[in-house]
Amino acid sequence: MQKKQFFLIKAFIIILIGWAFITLENVEGKRLIQLLCIFMALNITNVLRASLKSPFKISLLAVDLIFFILLSLLSRYVINYFLYALYIMAVIEAGLFYDFRQARYIIGMIFLSSGYHYVVLYHYRPNLGIVSEIIFMLLIYVLLTVSLYFLQVANKEREKQRLLNEQLQEINNKLENLTRLAVKTDIAREIHDTFGHDMMGLIMQIEMADVLINQDPDGAKRMLKDAKNSARQGMKTIRQVVETLRADEGDIITETVDMLLDGFEKKSNIMIEKDVDEKLYDYPKKIHDVMYRTIQESITNSVRHGQASHIVVWLSCEPSYINFRIKDNGVGADTMHLGYGLRGMKERLSKFNGNVRFKSEEGFEVKGYIEVTK
């Protein structure tokens, strides 16, 4: 039941009880004016509690109890059962709409007020019927109070569940945003590592063809033919990246580290000295692939930025680690700047509790490790 609906019903009950009280007791004169004022005051406090949002609303309910006592004193009977409907409504209101730590004081006051009238009645008419009536009314109050208490507990649990659901929804939204960001990062990194590597080989082949076009036309033609094949391979790689990311099937790497190095040496005419531990291929594909990408990015940078002519690639598999080192004889770098490729390398390795260091001294060196489990 909504709060405003409850107070509307309560206002109607107050009017109905006032009419019954005045009619059945045949009230007139000064007492009639007093009763009308009290019932009007009850409805005024009822309306105020329905409309106000002040934390002191429960104090107005305590004022209602004073009015109930005044009504009892103005009644011709020691026990006026019409008033007990007001007492019960007050208990229900206290239990439904106020914190139980506050409501219990109001309910206690109602017990004392109604109990006082029964004690007075028993004083004048001590019999078993009055005792039974006292016990019956007491049970009603107790059962009503207990029911309202558990109702409040259930409402608080529902509110906690609602807040928890909102928090979970907020967390899910954040995770969804992070997932989207991770997907974008993966796409960019995949294109950078695969297509960028192929394009680097293509550029070098075209440059070599440009050098040979006058001195060795046949050699230049062979270089251009190789460049055409590299361009086709680049387009094929892009399609593979898109299809793989669309199907969410993981990495698109299909060749080994050795194949990567042999192919790059052939395309770029760069001398690559390799010492790759064959145990690498005994590990899961994700282990091989992270090393593949690390080496691919390193040798591409050696040619693109370092203008190297000789690269040493060393990789050793220990029981719990894979150690690697890629060193070139290029120009190195005066200032170390972690671009997109180097940052991506560090991020990949960190997923395997690994680390990497970059050193620019007589060329450029990439050295690090990852943790592995077979």
The answer on pLDDT for 339 being more than 60 is: yes
Please give the C-alpha separations between residue 152 and each of 74, 139, 149, 193, 240, in angstroms, as whole numbers.
Answer: 35, 20, 5, 60, 59
Beta bridge partners of residue 368, listed in sequence order: 324, 356
Determine, yes or no, domain membership for 72.
yes
Tokens matching residue 147: 């029911």
Determine, yes or no, domain membership for 150.
no
Give which of 336, 217, 218, 208 is closest to 270, Cα–Cα: 208
The answer on pLDDT for 236 being more than 80 is: no
Of 67, 96, 126, the last residue of a domain is: 126
Determine, yes or no, domain membership for 92.
yes
Render 172-189 in DSSP notation, one character per residue.
Answer: HHHHHHHHHHHHHHHHHH
Average pLDDT over residues 325-351: 84
Q: Residues, the chain, total? A: 374
Of 97, 126, 155, the last residue of a domain is: 126
Please tell me whether residue 25 adopts helix, strand or coil conformation. coil
Q: State how far the Cα of 304 lies from the Cα of 318, in Å rounded to an integer.
A: 31
Average pLDDT over residues 238-245: 61
Terminal-residue alpha carbon distance, the chain: 62
Sequence-ordered list of residues with C-beta below 8 angstroms from that of 260, at least 6 positions apart, any chain: 292, 295, 296
Residue 332 belongs to domain spanning: 255-374
Instruction: Grade residue 198 by pLDDT with cuts at 50, 70 and 90.
Output: low
At residue 251, the pLDDT reads 53
The answer on pLDDT for 323 being more than 50 is: yes
Determine, yes or no, domain membership for 121.
yes
Q: How many domains does the chain contain in total?
A: 2
Give which of 257, 258, 208, 256 is closest to 230, Cα–Cα: 208
At residue 252, the pLDDT reads 59
Q: Which amino acid is at 374?
A: K
Which helix or strand (DSSP H or E) is residue 11 part of? helix 3-24
The answer on pLDDT for 242 being more than 70 is: no
Instruction: Grade residue 154 by pLDDT with cuts at 50, 70 and 90.
Output: confident
Determine, yes or no, domain membership for 96.
yes
pTM strictly above 0.75: no
Higher pLDDT, 266 or 351: 351
Lowest-pLDDT range of 19-28, 46-55, 138-147: 46-55
Of 85, 104, 126, the last residue of a domain is: 126
Instruction: Grade residue 367 by pLDDT with cuts at 50, 70 and 90.
Output: very high
Higher pLDDT, 179 or 231: 231
The answer on pLDDT for 246 being more than 60 is: no
Average pLDDT over residues 189-209: 67
Q: State how far the Cα of 209 lies from the Cα of 223, in Å rounded to an integer.
A: 5
The answer on pLDDT for 249 being more than 80 is: no
Burial class (CB in 10 A: 0-12, 13-18, 19+), 208: buried
Please tell me whether residue 305 adopts helix, strand or coil conformation. coil
Average pLDDT, the chain: 79
At residue 192, the pLDDT reads 61
Instruction: Grade residue 135 by pLDDT with cuts at 50, 70 and 90.
Output: confident
Determine, yes or no, domain membership for 143.
no
